[in-house]
Structures are given as C-alpha cells and as structure tokens.
Amino acid sequence: MQKIIVMLCILMMASPAFAAVKVVATLPWIGSLAKEIGKDKVDITTLVKISQDPHSIEAKPSMIAAARRADILMYNGLDLEVGYLPILMEAAKNPAINPGNVGNLNCSIFVDVLEKPAAPCRCNGDVHPLGNPHYHLSPSNMKKVATGMAGQLAKVDQAHADFYRQNAQQFNAKVDAKLKEWHNRKLKGKKFTAQHKYFEYLAKEFEFTILGYLEEKPGIPPSSAHVQALIYSINKLKSDAILTTEYHNQTIPRFISSKTNIKRTVVPHDVGAGATKDWFTMMDSVIKALE
C-alpha cells in the first residue's frame, strides 16, 4: 500500500499540474522579478546577458529553443527587443507566447512611459522610438510591473494565483520600505551628464537633473563637435559626474572626464551589473553610485 502511495506521489509530481511554469524573460531584471513573484513555481530562462547592450541583441538558436518550450514570454517592450523578439517568436512557432495570448507579457503596458513621442520614430537611428524604455530603474513603475506580472502568471497557472499575488504584494511592501531609505540619500538637486538615457525615471523620482548626454540620440555615438560642445557645457554648468554603464565603451567618457575634471561613475544598468543579485541590490548600488 505504502509503495502504491509513493508511486502515486511521484506520478502526480511529474504531471503537468505540478510542473513549474516555464518563463522566458528577455532582460535580467525581468527574470529576477519573475523569480521574486514565482519563486519555486517558475523555471526561468533569461535571454540577455548583463555584458550585452540590450538595444542590439541578435536572435540565437538557443533563444529560439527556449521560446519554443516557454509557457510565458516576458519582455520589456517599447521596442527595446525589436531587433530579435519578432524573429524569435516567428521561429519558435509556439502559439502560447504570441501577442494577445496569456503567455505573452509586455511589461511596459503597466508603466507610465516617459519621453513618449507624438508619433513613433526611429529618427536618425534613435533606439527609443516609443519613449524611454528603461523604466526598471523606477520604483513606482516596478511596483506596477510586479502586480501586472503576478496577474499574468495567475492566468497562466491558475492553481497558484493567490501565491503569485501575495508575492507581488510582498515585493511591493519591500519597495515601499526601501523607498524611505532611498529618499533619505542625497540625490536631490544633483546634476549629472549621462552616456545614455538610462536614468530619466530615477531623475524624476529622486529629483536630480541630467544636464546632457554623450550620445547625440539614444544609441548614436557622439560626433567630435558634440563632444566639444559637451565639454564646454559641463565646465560651465558644473556637472557632478558622468554616468556610464559597464557595457559602454569608456574611451569617450574617459576623454571628457580628463578634459573637465569631473568623475566618471559606472552605474549598474540591470540586475547582475556590479555583482548585484536582484532588483533591490541593484537599486542600492545605483543610488550609492549616484550619491
């Protein structure tokens, strides 16, 4: 009898009802958040490595294989993944993850988007055609994404709907607790120059200013005339630091730093940068770097 019960338990655990939800996340922060919400109920594959520029990823066979097996595909949206996601979805031939189905989660639908243009435009190579896609550095938006993600996981795996929603509530409570700590840090009124438009959400919520950008447009390297103009304005406006990220080439930030005597600060751009292990440690690290 005991043997039969053990066998039944093994069979039940192997059945689809007990299988973890297979999540494919494009970016590290999305995979990390999915783990916070799904814990042991999800099996996560993250496509983009922390060393890669998230604006210029190419589809690979291993990514297609992961997408083919996925129960849910989670992505940043705002066209950040436009270079590889359409190819991936076409090749994966997995209807579950197609737009309109519960297995397709565009995280940007929950967010208040900054720099939204009147009409989508990749003008002169701009890699932010639908507005600023880097909302994961915004605590208020992350709370919305956490709630939205839990709601979507609850649809994919109805048996654990309450579990996902409770985990999202816990995540959001932790964000609120951390916000009190982060708002005590001295970021208000600071003036930075940034390599890329990564910090606009953070600037709005923590009341600092971005005076200018090394890139002439998001994704477009600066001309020498732009660099000269930037050096002039940095010297005039007294920027506190040049903010850059670890995957960016440091030649121009170093050059501008040497010509202006302002510090070059490498800021984590996603979970995993600077050895950060989750969204909270990434944000701790970002705020410390800016401070």
Residues that bind Zn ion (CB under 5 A): 218
> Between residues 64 and 252, which has the closer beta carbon with respect to Zn ion?
252
Tell me how far, at minimum, the Cβ of 270 lies from Zn ion, in Å. Answer: 11
> Which of these, 281, 262, 282, 253, lies nearest to 270 by C-alpha position?
282
> Between residues 171 and 213, which has the closer beta carbon with respect to Zn ion?
213
| Partners of residue 72 on adjacent β-strands | 23
Tell me how far, at minimum, the Cβ of 111 lies from Zn ion, in Å. Answer: 14
The alpha carbon of residue 244 and the mean position of all alpha carbons in its chain are separated, in whole angstroms, by 16
> Between residues 169 and 250, which has the closer beta carbon with respect to Zn ion?
250
Tell me how far, at minimum, the Cβ of 65 lies from Zn ion, in Å. Answer: 27
CA–CA dist 273, 245 (Å, integer) = 9
Tell me how far, at minimum, the Cβ of 123 lies from Zn ion, in Å. Answer: 15
44 neighbors 278 (Cβ within 8 angstroms): no
Q: How many distinct helices (H) and strands (E) make up the chain?
A: 10, 8
Collapsing DSSP states into helix, strand and coil, what is residue 208? coil
Tell me how far, at minimum, the Cβ of 215 lies from Zn ion, in Å. Answer: 9
What ranges in 42-99 are assigned the alpha helix state H?
61-69, 85-92
Beta strands in 41-179 (DSSP E): 42-46, 72-75, 104-106
Stretch (H or E) spanning 263: strand 263-266
149 neighbors 33 (Cβ within 8 angstroms): yes
> Between residues 218 and 222, which has the closer beta carbon with respect to Zn ion?
218
Tell me how far, at minimum, the Cβ of 42 lies from Zn ion, in Å. Answer: 27
Tell me how far, at minimum, the Cβ of 196 lies from Zn ion, in Å. Answer: 6
> Which of these, 195, 201, 242, 203, lies nearest to 53 by C-alpha position?
195
Tell me how far, at minimum, the Cβ of 273 lies from Zn ion, in Å. Answer: 14
> Which of these, 83, 36, 76, 43, lies nearest to 59 by C-alpha position?
83
> Between residues 218 and 272, which has the closer beta carbon with respect to Zn ion?
218
Collapsing DSSP states into helix, strand and coil, what is residue 161? helix
> Between residues 42 and 78, which has the closer beta carbon with respect to Zn ion?
78
Stretch (H or E) spanning 14: helix 2-14
Strand order in the sheet with 72-75: 42-46, 21-25, 72-75, 104-106
